[in-house]
Amino acid sequence: MWNGADTRLEPATTAASADALERELAWLEQVLQARIGLHFGQQADAGALARIPVPLLDDGSGYAGLVREAGLDADERLVLALALAPHLRPQLLDILCVRNSTLDRGFTEFGGCKGRAHTGFLPTAETAAFMLAGEALAPRFAAQQLLDEDRPLRRHRLLQLQHEAPGEPWLHAALQVGRDVLQRLVTGEVRKPDYGSGFPARRIGTRLGWDDLVLDADVMEEVQSIVAWYRHGSRLLGEWQLDKALKPGYRALFFGPPGTGKTLTATLIGQAVGADVYRIDLSMVVSKYIGETEKNLAQVFDQAQSRRWILFFDEADALFGKRTATSSSNDRYANQEVSYLLQRVEDFPGTVILATNLKANIDEAFARRFQSLVQFPMPDAEQRLRLWHGMLGHTGRLHADVDLAALADRHVLSGGAIANVVRSGALAALQGARERIGADDLRKGIAKELRKEGRTA
């Protein structure tokens, strides 16, 4: 999807992409004209289609690279070109807009659907079947199989099928190309998806490193297991032949009080393995309308399916909470929602990390399916001192009256709370026109944090 970034492509790259797509679209046009000629008896040579030469893709364009990467055959390339035509050359499909004069409507066998604003022909799976097979059933079945989920076009997320009306023929589904795929086909670049209603997740990162993360050795060992799986999971399933015993993907639950490092750990895992970490925005996912929550989550899982993203669900109990006894239709739909999420998480071939403040709030069916249950406890006095030093020790902004060891020993605070105290103390010093943070500044910040948690200093 577009993210507004400035691309400034090299002219040679743009020219190579345009040339490859020009040849592909010209090929598509020849095939469509030949198919329609055969269909209406204007052309009697059934071998004409087979003699239309398939364009060579021996350049360095983004389109050629994607075709090679996905391993598309000639028929799959034609279907992809058909789906691309409305975006690149919409008038090419006008030939399919011819009307049946007897019935005063379009030809059913051509498929196609209407857009809300687009006035041209939008192809469906039926259009692809007609183009490849005409009315012959055996090749029609073969064409339909090209659009199965486990075939390259959909396995690599090059195409999506949009079914608008349940119960209608399966081939009535619209052929859709995602904006991110279109961008790569045109320019060879892969862009990050936009945050918004169509993708309710934000990419998160950090400037910190593992040295800034203060965790017990046992917790760190669990975290490193996630890193190891990300790096070596495919090897274990393939080379070590453990695919019969193990499912693809990794599911971890981080639980513990707020501010203990759950989000930071998720971002550091992504940093360590070179993967993007996307935090799901629950405010845009959870909906009061039946079926909308599942639809919103599907948008994230579908886009992440073939990518190496790490999906991070913060405050996950809002989505993955315990199922309840069914006493109303609302309870039944809520339980169906949890069941759907359970299935999507379990089937997801990538890494999913759920974070919650209270492990007991997570449905037990989820907990049984996690490979790691990682507890993030409140830091002890020694760890708190490391946190204080890590945030303030290097700044040279501490007044001589500050005793970090005493603060760490006396006040039980999480790393997030300590960061809030540091911010509050620094602001107080600046407001007082002082160049150093004093003990009183930090004491006031600590009192503020404790009040937020219902405690007293």
pLDDT band (50, 70, 90) for residue 8: very low
Q: What is the 3-state secondary structure (H, E, C) of 102-154?
A: CCCEECHHHCCECCCCCCCCECEHHHHHHHHHCCCHHHHHHHHHCCCCCCHHH
pLDDT (average), residues 9-38: 83
Q: Which residues contact 141 (CB under 8 A, 6 or more apart)?
A: none
Given a cut of 70, whether residue 449 has pLDDT beyond it is yes
Tokens read off for 107: 């030809």
Q: What is the 3-state secondary structure (H, E, C) of 400-432?
A: CCCCHHHHHHHCCCCHHHHHHHHHHHHHHHHHC
Over pLDDT 70: what percentage of the chain? 88
Over pLDDT 90: what percentage of the chain? 54
Q: Please, what is the angle between helix 179-187 and helix 74-88, to 10°?
A: 100
Given a cut of 90, whether residue 104 has pLDDT beyond it is no
What does the chain come to in residues?
A: 457
Strand, helix or coil for residue 301: helix
pLDDT (average), residues 37-56: 83
What's the pLDDT score for residue 3?
Answer: 37
Given a cut of 90, whether residue 301 has pLDDT beyond it is no
What's the pLDDT score for residue 455?
Answer: 81
What's the pLDDT score for residue 288?
Answer: 61
Alpha carbon distance, N-terminus to C-terminus of the chain? 50
- Evaluate whether 129 touches 143 at the Cβ level (below 8 Å): yes
pLDDT one-digit tens code per residue, 177-232: 877 788 777 665 666 776 665 678 889 999 999 999 999 999 999 999 999 999 99
Tokens read off for 195: 């945050």
pLDDT (average), residues 7-16: 55
What's the pLDDT score for residue 13?
Answer: 57
Lowest mean pLDDT among 95-99, 116-120, 334-338, 400-404: 334-338
Tell me which residue has tokens 């994607």: 66
User: How many beta carbons lie within 10 A of that of residue 206, not counting itself?
Assistant: 16
Distance CA 39, CA 62 (A): 35
CA 221 to chain centre: 27
pLDDT band (50, 70, 90) for residue 4: very low
Q: Of 135, 136, 131, whose CA–CA distance to 147 is shortest?
A: 131
Given a cut of 90, whether residue 316 has pLDDT beyond it is no
- Measured CA to CA in angstroms, residue 182 lies from 48, 76, 310, 356 at distances of 31, 16, 23, 37
Lowest mean pLDDT among 116-130, 202-216, 292-306, 423-437: 292-306
What's the pLDDT score for residue 424?
Answer: 96
Given a cut of 50, whether residue 1 has pLDDT beyond it is no
What's the pLDDT score for residue 34?
Answer: 92
- Evaluate whether 95 touches 33 at the Cβ level (below 8 Å): yes
Distance CA 72, CA 67 (A): 5
What's the pLDDT score for residue 344?
Answer: 84
pLDDT (average), residues 246-257: 92
Given a cut of 90, whether residue 340 has pLDDT beyond it is no
User: How many beta carbons lie within 10 A of that of residue 259, not counting itself?
Assistant: 22
Lowest mean pLDDT among 9-13, 48-52, 106-110, 268-272: 9-13
Given a cut of 60, whether residue 387 has pLDDT beyond it is yes
pLDDT (average), residues 346-352: 90
Dihedrals phi, psi of 269, to nearest 5 degrees: -60, -45
What's the pLDDT score for residue 95?
Answer: 92
pLDDT (average), residues 362-379: 85
pLDDT band (50, 70, 90) for residue 453: confident
Torsion of CA 239, 245, 247, 253, to 10 degrees: -110
Strand, helix or coil for residue 441: helix
pLDDT band (50, 70, 90) for residue 9: very low
What's the pLDDT score for residue 441?
Answer: 96
What's the pLDDT score for residue 195?
Answer: 60
Tokens read off for 370: 């996690």
What's the pLDDT score for residue 6?
Answer: 37
In this predicted model, which residue has the larger pLDDT, 438 or 322? 438
- Measured CA to CA in angstroms, residue 111 lies from 114, 115, 173, 186 at distances of 10, 13, 9, 26
Domains defined along the chain, listed by start: 11-187 (no CATH), 201-375 (3.40.50.300), 381-452 (1.10.8.60)
Lowest mean pLDDT among 297-306, 381-390, 405-414: 297-306
- Evaluate whether 22 touches 84 at the Cβ level (below 8 Å): no
Given a cut of 50, whether residue 435 has pLDDT beyond it is yes
DSSP 8-state secondary structure symbol assigned to residue 307:
S
In this predicted model, which residue has the larger pLDDT, 84 or 197? 84
Dihedral of alpha carbons 78, 84, 88, 94, sign: positive
